Amino acid sequence: MRGLMLVFTLGLRSPQQHSADPWFGPDKLQHFFASAFVQSMGYGTLRAMGAQHRTALVGATAGTVVVGVGKELHDRATHGDVSARDLVWDAAGAGSATLLLVRTAR
């Protein structure tokens, strides 16, 4: 719930600012695939360390959230633009990786 509140809070910008941040820009694919990669690598690392399936998924998701939100906080500190749309694409990438991991886990 807090994560959703953060996404909506970060997304409160004027319409002019949203037009500079399209839903389907090239950076959105980078967010999607980077988050899918972080999710997959986090899961694989935790499983290799002996974590159970569910624990590894939760840990990988937490790590992916930290990386995604950290990137947006870095953007805010360096050039002032935080993008809730980037976070949505981060979540989509992490979610897609999780679906694959759930389907293939043994």
Q: Could you tell me the two tokens for 54?
A: 């569910």
Q: How far is CA 47 from CA 18, 37, 76, 98, 99, in A?
A: 39, 15, 34, 14, 16
Between CA 15 and CA 104 the distance in angstroms is 42
From the list 99, 106, 94, the residue with the least C-alpha distance to 39 is 94
- Residue 81: the pLDDT is 84
Q: Could you tell me the two tokens for 65?
A: 């959230």
Whether the CB-CB separation of 84 and 10 falls below 8 Å is answered with yes
Each residue's pLDDT tens digit, 46-60: 999 999 999 999 999
Each residue's pLDDT tens digit, 28-39: 999 999 999 999
| CA triple 66-68-71, angle to 5 deg | 100
pTM, rounded to two decimals = 0.78
